[in-house]
Amino acid sequence: MKVMWIANLPLPEMAERIGVNSSLGGWLPALSSHLKEKENIEFVYCFPQNRTKALIQKKIGKVMFYGFYEDMASHTYDKKMEKDLKEIYMLERPDVVHLFGSEYYHAYAAVRSGIELDRMVMSIQGIMCLLAKHYCDGISAKDRLFPRMTKKGKIGCIEKEKKKFEMQGQYEGYVFRHIKIFEGRTDFDEAYVKIVNPSSKYFKCNRILRKKFYEGQWQAEAVEPYSVFLGQASYPPKGLHIFLQAISMLKELIPEIKVYIGGQNICQGKDVSSYGKYIEQIIKKYQLEDKITFLGSLCEEKMWEQFLKTNVFVLPSSGENSPNTLAEAMILGVPCIAADVGGVCSMMEHAKEGYIYRVDEPHMLAFYLYKLMRNRKLSQKFSENARRRALSLYDESENTRKVIEMYEDISKSKKC
């Protein structure tokens, strides 16, 4: 059986060959490594690149790689991708085409390219139109529209940044309406599929996490006391502005509290956004300068280390589907608090495996942080329960088996 993937970044071995600093170190390489071990699967991998407008072709080990041109920074659609993807499809003639994510322009191109849609399954990642809907949750109209000077000398506003998500959401809508087969993980994404495309087929396949996260386990005595970790906070739906309100409420109750955030400091640098300037304003307003540390880009090893020394992991997002950071925190046993958005309630049970709160109630987030930081016994209970649940949900062998069964079902259906 020949399987062709279309994803948004090259696998690490291809990224190294073409000189791309790929940040793709997550579940795609983890799943691909399991599939590459199977004797009966031929593996083709397609990804966007902006080095050359010509099609890049390279075989590494058992995998045939194709790099098609897409300028992912331009936020404009290039119809040439349709031709390139059809050319790859005709060259390889795969039994199954696995498209990862609806939110990219190349997903729209793949659906329009002429690839047989009854051979194509799409893995649902984020849902762009819903992220656009919740983009400005918790931000006042005044702050959304307030013009801010960015470091590039341009005037922007948060509402304008939201428009990029809305534009991509329009292309994404076409993808959801025309794809015939979907793969997802949560009640949230399954419900969305059933509403927008009732005649489609849906497979549930949980992810395989990064290899390092199957090692080690959180220990209460090994953590930095009163420390909080957020996996990232680069744009409004990640909820940093709401989280900071909760932290301001805890300043007197837990004066030792420290917050660590994965990713570059969004308040500084040449590419600072209107949202970054807004966050800078909030940090100053609540006098949190000495509480917040941005950790920069974290590789798999560094992310793993940060989880294990963290008192509590928080996911304060206003929009998610099945967040990988929550899954990784749970499988290590890190006590978790998450906003009740998207598929979070399919991943974690409230007051048993962690705390879930309404995203528009930061005082509840503050209260739950206080409880976990002051009660080691409760933290240990959540840790053990969450880890047990995650080890079952993200079992490598079981989830690989389900993906292969999905491919076989699609392949057999086409032959019939």
Left, alpha or beta for 323 (phi > 0: left; psi -120 to 50: alpha)? beta
**Model confidence pLDDT, tens digit, residues 280-306:** 999 999 999 999 999 999 999 999 999
Do 221 and 203 fall into the same domain?
A: no
**Model confidence pLDDT, tens digit, residues 252-269:** 999 999 999 999 999 988
399-405: average pLDDT: 97
As given in the structure block, the two tokens for residue 239 are 């909820």
* Residue 165 domain-assigned (yes or no): no
What confidence tier does 397 reach under pLDDT thresholds 50, 70, 90? very high
Question: Distance (Å, rounded) from C-alpha 399 to C-alpha 28?
Answer: 13
Cβ-contact 410, 121 below 8 angstroms: yes
Number of domains in the chain: 2
Task: Give the pLDDT confidence score for residue 134 in this predicted structure.
Answer: 95
Q: Which of 362, 150, 388, 402 is nearest to 243 (CA)?
A: 362
Cβ-contact 352, 330 below 8 angstroms: no
**Model confidence pLDDT, tens digit, residues 39-80:** 899 999 999 999 999 999 999 998 999 999 998 777 789 999
* Residue 47 domain-assigned (yes or no): yes
Do 268 and 323 fall into the same domain?
A: yes
Residue 216 DSSP SS3 = coil
As given in the structure block, the two tokens for residue 218 are 């959180």
Question: Distance (Å, rounded) from C-alpha 196 to C-alpha 316?
Answer: 27
What confidence tier does 150 reach under pLDDT thresholds 50, 70, 90? low
Do 400 and 329 fall into the same domain?
A: no
Residue 243 has pLDDT above 90, yes or no: yes
Residue 270 has pLDDT above 80, yes or no: no
* Residue 163 domain-assigned (yes or no): no
Query: Average per-residue pLDDT in the chain?
Result: 94
The residue written with tokens 């498209």 in the block is 99
Do 245 and 109 fall into the same domain?
A: no
What confidence tier does 374 reach under pLDDT thresholds 50, 70, 90? very high
Exposure class string for 307-327: b at 16+ Cβ within 10 A, else e:
bbebbbbbbbbbbbbbbbbbb
What confidence tier does 413 reach under pLDDT thresholds 50, 70, 90? confident
174-184: average pLDDT: 98
**Model confidence pLDDT, tens digit, residues 181-215:** 999 999 999 999 999 999 999 999 999 999 999 99
Q: Domain holding 41: CATH number?
A: 3.40.50.2000
21-41: average pLDDT: 81
Do 343 and 386 fall into the same domain?
A: yes
* Residue 167 domain-assigned (yes or no): no
Q: Which of 218, 121, 209 is nearest to 398 (CA)?
A: 209
Do 40 and 16 fall into the same domain?
A: yes
Burial status of residue 104 (CB atoms within 10 A of its CB: 0-12, 13-18, 19 or more): buried
Question: Distance (Å, rounded) from C-alpha 176 to C-alpha 85?
Answer: 19
* Residue 137 domain-assigned (yes or no): no
Q: Which helix (H) or strand (E) holds 262?
A: none
As given in the structure block, the two tokens for residue 207 are 């992810």
- DSSP class of residue 263? B
Do 62 and 193 fall into the same domain?
A: yes
Do 232 and 376 fall into the same domain?
A: yes
* Residue 57 domain-assigned (yes or no): yes
Question: Distance (Å, rounded) from C-alpha 179 to C-alpha 176?
Answer: 6
Ordered alpha helix ranges (H), 93-179: 105-112, 128-133, 141-145, 158-178
* Partner residues linked to 128 by β-bridges: none
Do 389 and 399 fall into the same domain?
A: no
* Residue 164 domain-assigned (yes or no): no
Do 16 and 89 fall into the same domain?
A: yes
- DSSP class of residue 354? B
Do 195 and 92 fall into the same domain?
A: yes
84-90: average pLDDT: 98
Domain hosting residue 345, numbered range: 215-393
Q: What percent of the chain has pLDDT over 90?
A: 86
Do 186 and 279 fall into the same domain?
A: no
* Residue 265 domain-assigned (yes or no): yes
